[in-house]
Structure 1
Amino acid sequence: MTFYIAHRLFAAHDRALAADLADRLAQKVGADRVFLPFCDTDEEDLVAEVKGRRLFELDRERLGRLDAMIAILHGPSLDDGVCMEIGYAAARGVPVVVLTTDFQTYSMTEAGTHLEFPDPLLQAVATRIVRVAKLGPATLPPAPARSRFQGFRTRNVAQTNTALDAALDALLDLPTRAPLPTGSPAAHGAPVYVEASPYTPWGQDHLAKACMDAGHTVVVPQRFTASDPVASSLADLAAVRSAARLLADVSGPETPPGTAVLIGAALASGVRIAAYQPRPTYTHAHGREPNLRNLMIQYASEAHPENDEAVLSWLTA
């Protein structure tokens, strides 16, 4: 089996945590069976004509031939690139273990179903979720040379080690891959799935209306209002995979996590994708072209409309 470690790339401590996980896994299965992004794509030193696209291609090529994924997701703001990779893997029937040390749970309403992540779609597509939410046990009172901060760090390290070991156990005990249920392949007249951003005031109505005005049947997500958000998440996923197009509003500080999952699933399923972003923002990294915030989302999408006119142009293309 080939194992893919999906993790946030943009800070040293995130990369170090993923490297720790990769090293522990390599000791059990062999280093040649473990793929660690950034490390194994040589991201910092890679030279390419269009570096961001090349990085996307390298990751997608690896995503197309892995046997299992372990994804690290911490806190309420989830990395959109990792979520996109989870969606891609899940749509191909690749089992996914999700590791989190978040001590919060989430719900759609104040008294609603408690979920592991802010968007129930992540819980729905994960094969296993490993959640280690509490600090490690308190140690003996600190020696004179130690501060209470060192003691607190030790408890966090213990929590992290427990989480990594539990995640590896879950990963090595995964079932064989089995594709998720899906609808029929997109046929002539198949609908457009419209995914709104929770960060915007206009909701899904204006994009849905633009699609309907152009003569398209429209499907919108059900998981945020359903009594069973996890089951409705799987229905949303199946609807995307059998749609003709996915129109995803990616406005906000990052692509919303569930939206990123759907973009990955649509890409793996051959569904045409447009990432709507009326106020584009860019990221800049050494040696890389300016990217529309996340290069995985950018290059997964065939169009990036910034207004309704551009949406209509994409719908007729």
Structure 2
Amino acid sequence: MKLYFAGPMFAKSDLLYNEFLVKKIRELDRSLEVYLPQENGAINDKAAYADSKMIALADTEKVLESDLLVAVLDGITIDAGVASEIGVAYAKNIPIIGLYTDTRQQGADNQKKLAALGDTAENQFHYLNLYTVGLVKLNGSVVTNEQDFLALIKEQLNK
């Protein structure tokens, strides 16, 4: 099985989190081929040069070769590249698993947090682009923790 890992990759924390998750994914099954874009030095060595077409062609090719796309949805917004990769996967009916760990989603039954939604600029929850989330959910699901994320990947491996 070929898996494409979509995640933000420009802050050191993003790179380390991606490495951590991909290590866990690779431990699920040694025969699994995981494409982690940050490992592709030909287009992602930021000290070198790759133009937009080179990046788009290389990553799109890998998405299209994939049997499963997994995506980290965390951040101020869903990373633009991740959203693009999700769109390509959706268009080709490639299953998608999204990981969304933002802690602001906790307390969905807290009446004070819910009431604050009526007060301008007091939203206690985080917003994700619903179009992108909808593409993920139409071809898969979104989970809130690494354990469920890995379990869903394992399920896909066993299909």
When normalised by structure 1's length, the TM-score is: 0.39
Residue identity opposite 2:133 in structure 1: Q
In structure 1, distance between residues paired with 2:158 and 2:135 = 15
Deviation at 1:75, TM superposition (A): 3.8
Q: Does 1:124 align with 2:134?
A: yes
Provide the residue aligned with 1:164 in structure 2.
146
8 Å CA contact 1:4–1:34 kept in 2: the answer is yes
Runs of 4+ with deviation above 3 angstroms: 45-48, 174-177
Report if aligned partners of 2:89, 2:96 keep a CA contact under 8 Å in 1. Answer: yes
CA deviations on 1:84-133 (whole Å, 9 max, x unpaired) are 11111011111111101112349xxx47xxx98532223322211111xx
**Which of 138, 149, 155 is equivalent to 1:173?**
155
Q: CA RMSD in A?
A: 2.9
Distance change >3 Å, CA 173–CA 58, structure 1 → 2: same
Query: Structure 2: which 5+ runs fail to align?
Result: 109-116, 119-124
| Secondary structure of 2:39's aligned partner | coil
Partner residue, 1:54: 54
- Aligned residue number for residue 102 of structure 2: 102
Unaligned runs of 5+ in 1: 132-162, 178-317
Q: Is the 8 A contact 1:95 1:175 kept in 2?
A: no
**1:189-211: CA deviation from partner (whole Å, max 9, x where unpaired):** xxxxxxxxxxxxxxxxxxxxxxx
What does residue 37 of structure 1 align with? 37
Paired residue secondary structure (1:10): coil
Question: Quick check: 1:86–1:96 contact (8 Å CA) kept in 2?
Answer: yes
One-letter code of the match for 1:17? Y
Question: d(CA) in 2 for partners of 1:32 and 1:55?
Answer: 23
Q: Deviations along 1:252-281, whole A, 9 cap, x unmatched?
A: xxxxxxxxxxxxxxxxxxxxxxxxxxxxxx
Larger helix percent:
2
Deviation at 1:74, TM superposition (A): 1.1
Higher RCO (C-alpha under 8 Å, 6+ residues apart): 2
For 2:55 and 2:146, the matched residues in 1 are separated by 27
Aligned to 1:21: 21
1:57 is matched by which residue type in structure 2? Answer: L
Task: Note if contact 1:6-1:37 (Cα within 8 Å) is conserved in structure 2.
Answer: yes
**C-alpha separation in 2, matches of 1:58 and 1:22:** 19
- Alpha-carbon deviations, 1:214-241, whole Å to 9, x = none? xxxxxxxxxxxxxxxxxxxxxxxxxxxx
Distance 1:41 1:57, change over 3 A: farther
Corresponding pairs, count:
139
What is the distance in 2 between the residues matched to 1:92 and 1:46?
33
Identity %: 22
Give TM-score scaled by structure 2 length.
0.74
